[in-house]
Amino acid sequence: MMAELIALFRVPEVKRRLLVTLILVAVYRMGFWLPLPLLNQAELAKQVSQGAMGELLSALALVTASDIGSATVFGLGVMPYISASILFQLLGQVYPALAEMQKEGESGRRKINEYTRYATIVLCYVQSFFWLVQLTRYPGVVQASASGFGWIAASALIMTAGTAVLMWLGEQIDAFGLGGGVSLLMVVGIIARLPVAIGQVLDPFLREGVRLGGDNGAETILLLAIGFVAVVAGVVVLNSAQRKIPVESSKHRGMTGGQALPLKLNQSGVMPVIFASSLLMLPAFVLEWLAGRLGAPWLQVAKESFATGTGLAYLLSFILLVYFFSFFWTSVAFNPKQVADGLRDSGVFVPGYRPGPRTEEFLERVVVRVTVIGATGLIIVAILPNLVSSTFGVGRMLSGFYGGTGLLIVASVVLDLRQKLKSYRVFSK
């Protein structure tokens, strides 16, 4: 494996693209160190790290690969662009004009990308505006001379411009670098948190030395390391597994030649988890605001439940949403009727099922079963961080790498990058 990787990076095209990617990624990371003007970053970090809001922002940062808690130029990350892209993909299924654009090929894709950029700018400004309004309510975070509407509007414009720059960086990586630009930036944003998370675990050993037993014993570190390898392997299997349906040609009956119709176990990818996590953050923010205003005890309990992601109501809502979005996204990506008609028109059939409606019914049953299994796997991976955090007593920043949206995104993007690197090697021969 290592020899194959070394040989791959000897290809001139790969070396050139890798250099461009590293330069653009460096620019991306530098933007996270550029703070907004007239903000006390130390006081902000202290305020947002307290209580349920700190847990919520930590989970939000890992899901969106952003750094909104520090209020920097690139604080919103690329998630507004991802949200706008998903929105237009969904609208393409229900809005005839967008559906026609999707069928126009390259020209239609360019138009949709243009609309996506405009929608991203609007989303960025709205999100950053309301976040900055929230910051003005924290004492000592914003200087008194900058707490008015003018500072909020100007700072929201700066954060919006930052995300616009990230969109441009992603497009440059698409054109001249390695992998999918925006997806790769998300992965870099997620992985950038790993050294800090590991440092939090190793800090007691550096201060007090290695010991056995207790919350920070050496056996705990060993179990965490083994568990991480096992979870990564499971996520790779979840992203790669397929249900292969054997097919035959009506012109060469019985001569299958190993032909099969592959159905991915996880057709919808990481989208159901992203949608479910994003939607459930809304009640967490609302409950945080209501609890601060009304102070009712039951609101405090509900706020903690949704902010930490450990309450029964949160878990049930999350499971139902993941199943719903898994079936919805699979129906968008795989249409049994279209596939059955395509097989019939190509003279290909599934053994034991007549072409047409019977094949369509069979494919629908298979898709339902595969989707249930894939969605269940997504749910298990998504709730693992909470289990690791409660079992081993580690912070959310570290436990987030034992499953959840972050690990799913990293695994899927790395697997896609591996396939693209293989294609570069094939074309270079």
> What is the domain partition of the chain in residue ranges?
1-192, 209-429
Residue where the block lists tokens 């990076």: 9
- 401, 194 contact by CB (below 8 A): yes
Q: pLDDT digits over 398-424, tens only? A: 777 776 677 888 888 888 887 777 776
Which residues make Cβ contacts (< 8 Å) with residue 359, sequence separation at least 6?
Answer: 340, 343, 344, 349, 350, 353
Provide the pLDDT for residue 256: 46
Query: Identity (one letter) of the amino acid at 356?
Result: G
Mean pLDDT, the chain, integer? 78
Neighbours of 152 (CB within 10 A): 20
What tokens does 406 get? 């972050």
Query: Identity (one letter) of the amino acid at 89?
Result: Q
Whether residue 328 has pLDDT greater than 60: yes
Side-chain-side CA neighbours of residue 426 (13 Å) = 6
Q: pLDDT digits over 14-38, tens only? A: 888 888 888 998 888 888 888 888 7
Fold of 1-192: Preprotein translocase SecY subunit (1.10.3370)
135 versus 126: the higher-pLDDT residue is 126
Whether residue 143 has pLDDT greater than 80: no
Whether residue 427 has pLDDT greater than 60: no
40 versus 351: the higher-pLDDT residue is 351
Fold of 209-429: Preprotein translocase SecY subunit (1.10.3370)
Provide the pLDDT for residue 118: 92
- 43, 78 contact by CB (below 8 A): no
Output the DSSP codes for 252-290.
BTT--TT-EEEEETTTTTTHHHHHHHHHHHHHHHHHHHH
93 versus 154: the higher-pLDDT residue is 154
Q: pLDDT digits over 3-17, tens only? A: 666 666 677 778 888
Helices (H) and strands (E) in the chain, counts: 18, 4
Helix (H) or strand (E) run with residue 168 in it: helix 149-176
Provide the pLDDT for residue 30: 85
On the question of a common fold for 1-192 and 209-429, the answer reads: yes
Q: pLDDT digits over 156-204, tens only? A: 999 999 999 989 998 898 888 887 788 888 888 888 877 877 777 777 6
pTM, to two decimals: 0.77
Q: pLDDT digits over 385-402, tens only? A: 877 777 777 766 677 777
Q: pLDDT digits over 256-305, tens only? A: 445 788 888 888 877 788 778 777 777 766 776 676 666 667 666 666 66
57 versus 190: the higher-pLDDT residue is 190
